[in-house]
């Protein structure tokens, strides 16, 4: 998850005053997270690189518009999400694609409030690298709206409010999507951990 700089507000103020070194310091702090966010949406490394570059350029050009009402990363993530969605639109030739498309989680269906523990510790059977690969593959199966909300909240560590702000959603809709994403991931990942249990671990 992004580690926010202690002197971030100072760096932002300096960057807004024309200090390019301060802007570079901010970008270095968050560029890999923005790349990963772009990759998560576009599913294409080259597109993700373009998203990163275009997001940084747009952030630089519009730095004066950042008013400090949110964390700098939340504002930057919002730019990156828009850039990534434009990439996907161009590639698909679909002008209507958005994060609000086909949202099962917002239809009022009943969902459990709690997600139970996995049971047996997966670390006992899988190395950290294997777990990361399994989780990445599972995340990739999520529909775009759920994939992005999971990335921002559970991978990047943004709060619910920050995630909602980055996606321009209500807090309720954000919570609904996040819960649906977690439930779908649980369903996808359960066979792996059932295998762990069946082997007596």
Q: How many domains in the chain?
A: 2
Residue 98 lies in a domain: no
Structural domain containing residue 188: 107-198
Residues 186, 130 share a domain? yes
51 three-class SS? helix
Angstrom distance (rounded) from CA 176 to CA 17: 40
Residue 153 lies in a domain: yes
Q: Which tokens is 63 given?
A: 């730095």
Name the pTM for this structure.
0.67
Does residue 182 contact residue 105 with C-beta atoms inside 8 Å? no
For Cα atoms 164, 3, 47, give the angle at the middle one, nearest 5 degrees: 65
pLDDT digits (tens, 9 = 90+) for 7-63: 888 999 999 999 999 999 999 999 999 999 999 899 899 999 999 999 999 999 999
Question: Is the pLDDT at 120 greater than 50, yes or no?
Answer: no
Cα–Cα separations (whole angstroms), residue 77 to 41, 139, 159: 12, 19, 13
Angstrom distance (rounded) from CA 85 to CA 51: 9
Identify the CA nearest to 141 among candidates 105, 188, 174. 188
Write the CATH number for 18. Answer: 1.10.1740.10
State which of 64, 92, 120 marks the end of a domain: 92
The pLDDT value recorded for residue 200 is: 47
Angstrom distance (rounded) from CA 183 to CA 142: 11
Residues 111, 88 share a domain? no
Residue 75 lies in a domain: yes
């Amino acid at each position: 998850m992004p580690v926010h700089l202690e002197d971030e507000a100072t760096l932002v103020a300096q960057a807004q005053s024309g200090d390019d070194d301060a802007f570079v310091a901010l970008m270095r702090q968050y560029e890999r997270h923005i790349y990963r966010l772009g990759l998560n949406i576009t599913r294409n490394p080259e597109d993700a690189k373009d998203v990163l570059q275009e997001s940084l350029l747009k952030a630089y050009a519009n730095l004066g518009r950042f008013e400090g009402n949110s964390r700098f990363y939340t504002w930057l993530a919002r730019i990156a999400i828009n850039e990534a969605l434009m990439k996907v639109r161009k590639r698909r030739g679909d002008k209507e694609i958005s994060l609000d498309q086909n949202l099962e989680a917002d239809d009022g269906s009943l969902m459990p409030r709690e997600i139970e523990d996995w049971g047996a510790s997966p670390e006992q059977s899988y190395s950290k690298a294997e777990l990361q690969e399994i989780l990445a593959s599972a995340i990739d199966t999520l529909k775009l709206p759920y994939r992005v909300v999971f990335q921002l909240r559970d991978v990047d560590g943004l709060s619910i409010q920050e995630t909602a702000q980055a996606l321009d959603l209500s807090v309720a809709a954000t919570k609904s999507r996040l819960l649906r994403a977690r439930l779908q991931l649980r369903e996808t990942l359960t066979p792996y951990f059932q295998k762990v249990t069946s082997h007596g671990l």
